Structures are given as structure tokens and as C-alpha cells.
Amino acid sequence: MMSIRKRVGIIGAGPAGLLLSYLLSLEGIDSLVLESRSRAEVESTIRAGVLEQGTVDLLKKIGLGERMEREGAVHQGIELRFDGSGHRINFHELANGRGITLYAQHEVLKDLIAARLKQEEQPILFNVENVQIAEITSDQPHIHFQHEHEQKELECDFVAGCDGFHGVSRAVIPEQGHHIFSRSYPFGWLGILIQAPPSSKELIYSYHERGFALISTRSPTLQRMYIQCDPLDDIANWSDELILEELQARLESKDQWQLQVGPITQKGIVAMRSFVIEPMQHGRLFLAGDAAHIVPPTGAKGMNLAIADVRHLARAFARFYQQQQTDLLETYSTTCLRRVWRAEHFSWWMTSMLHRFPDDDAFQQRLQRAQLEYTVSSRAASTSLAENYVGLPFTW
């Protein structure tokens, strides 16, 4: 068996794993990223790409913002639409000049992979199979895996589990001493990519009696759109024509707004859930990103939480290796969970306010309307939405 020695073993080449590896390299700390997919698969998997102001600032600070600044779309607000009227939440005015940048997750991953490969030879192993984590409660954990038909072992000081909700990392954490918080929502999102010009300058979140709808964007010629649906529905039941008709109906507007249409290049249905594990660490295994927490996509927090996690984790590792102090490692979970639960609440709040629930009655609908009307008419409520959407400071 071939043996490899690195200070930090990282499982998963998503935003959390790749950014952690890059941040560690800037501190002179060696690591190795193990990824089950190919590089092409990682770089082509389409995910949402709403970047908080703090995420944008961090990527710029570490030298990864050039293409994002050139190709990303900066938005200074969103629109809440209900009863045929649109109401703009002005981020720039309400959140001290902060905004969001729309830059797809797979583009962030391309930038991270390219930058990491420039730093050293083979810092990422793709197409890794049969990953097994062992001895995480010792001071010498190790990871067994297969790569290019060869059995290998990675010896390390720490393991970072950045391999998502269905990865192997969280599975090795014992139930005893940990708490799982989970909620499944009785609806999903049917998402499409469509070749068309933008239908709006900013994102539109629409509350409608037929269900929620969202207008987003990817580029001047490629748009991302969503409608609420049954999470167990078959995508085959949704023709392109039906999807576009439903979008137009749920986004109806008194100002005669029209959906910009074109060929639909991708469509699929995803379920929605909230999930948190506490604490986010066990022994020398530290979870980050979707391996530790899931939020419904309504609040656009998933990738941003992952980036906040590994920012803290990289600082903790740097403190350990440079100053021989463990305080940041010991408080990693507590520090991250404060932000995680704020994001969980915001995402739940946005989801509950904008979606139609299967057991909705007139009382529930009146509550949602009252919340929407208050949010768009009260500066305090609008400010709360704006501050949470653009992202709280990393020091929060």
C-alpha cells in the first residue's frame, strides 16, 4: 500500500474542500484533497451562485476575484412580488453599500482548481474510490482509499470532511455525543436553465396562489428559474411549455411584465430540507459545508456557509501549526454554529413566507400576506432582510 503524508487530509473537492486547501497553502500548510468525481464532473455540475459580500471580499483578498469581477453580475437588491406588484429591497441603501454577486458555483470551483494546481503538483486527487477514515480520535488519523487502481493511505494530523450531505465523513461520527436537527419541507423546486436574455435586472421572488417562483440569472444569455412543486413529482410530467406557462402565471404583474423565453437546456426537481449536526467536529475530524449543515435554497446561503466554515477552520489550523495553540480548533464548532443557525433561521423564514404549504388554510395565507406587506413597507423589516441576504460580517 502506497503511503502519503500530509498535515491535513481533505475529503471533497467542493467549495469548502478546495477553498480550505487553498487557504492552507497560503499559510504554508500542506494538504491533499480527495474527490470521488472527475475534474470535468466537478467543473460542470451546475449549482446556485449567489455570493454574499463577505464571500466576494474574501475571494478578492486571496487573489481569486479577477474572473468573478469580470464575469459576475453585481446586484444591489431583489424584488418581492405578490398581488401583481413588485417591491424592491434596496441592499445598497439598507445594508451600508453591500450587495451580492451572481457567479455560478462551478465557476468558483474552476477558479479554485486552477489556482491550486498552479501552487503545487497534484494537490487534488480526482476519481478516488472506497474512502475510509480511521483513528479520528487519535493524534494520527489516516484515510484509506483507492486511486488509479492502487490502494493508498493518507497519514495526516487532521481530517476535514467537506464531502457533502451524502459523503462518508459524517457517517464515521458516532451518534453518542452529537445531536441531529432536521426538517423536510413538503415541497421542492423545479429548476431550469434556459437560453434567453434576462427577464429582470435583479432576482424576483414571487408569492402566488399557484406556488412560489424565482427568477435568477447565470449570464447575459443563460438564465436560472424555479417553481415550487411536489418533491416526489416526476420531471417527465413537466413539458417545457407547461413550465414556461406556470412561470408566467406565477409571476404575473400589473405592469405587463413578460418572461423572456428560449430553449430549456436543463431541468430537474430537488427536495428541500434543513439539517444541522452539533458539534461539527469529533476528535480530529472537522466537518464543513453541506457535510455539517443544509439550508433550503430560498435564502441563498449554502455555498456562503461553506466558505465561512473553512475560513474559520483555516485560521484554526494556522494557529495550531504556527503558534501551537488549540483554542480556535476547540471552539471551531461553536463559532461556526452561531452563523449556521442564523442562516438556518433566515432561510426558514424566507421559505415559510413565500411558499404555499399543502395544508394551507385562509389563516396561514393571511399570515404570509401580512408578513410580506410588513417586510416591504417597514424600513426595519426590509433592513433585516437586506442584512441577512447580503451576509453578516465574518466577525458576527
Please list the active-site residues. Answer: 75, 205, 297, 301, 389
Are 302 and 294 within 8 A, CB to CB?
yes
Provide the β-strand partners of residue 262.
none
Q: How many CB atoms lie within 10 A of CB 166?
A: 9
Taking the C-alpha atoms of residue 305 and residue 289, their distance in angstroms, rounded to an integer, is 6
User: Quick one: cell of 293?
Assistant: 449543515
Number of helices (H) and strands (E), helices first, in the chain? 12, 21
The sign of the CA dihedral 390, 205, 344, 369 is: positive
In what order do the strands lie in the sheet containing 2-5?
2-5, 150-155, 142-147, 129-134
User: Quick one: cell of 14?
Assistant: 467542493
Please name the helix (run of DSSP H) or strand (run of DSSP E) that holds residue 281, with its range, or none.
strand 281-282
Whose cell is 413597507? That residue is 377
| Longest pairwise C-alpha distance within the chain | 68
State which amino acid sits at residue 213.
A
Provide the β-strand partners of residue 146.
129, 151
Taking the C-alpha atoms of residue 326 and residue 310, their distance in angstroms, rounded to an integer, is 16
% helix / strand / coil in the chain, to the nearest 5? 40, 30, 35
Closest CA to 205 of 360, 353, 52: 353
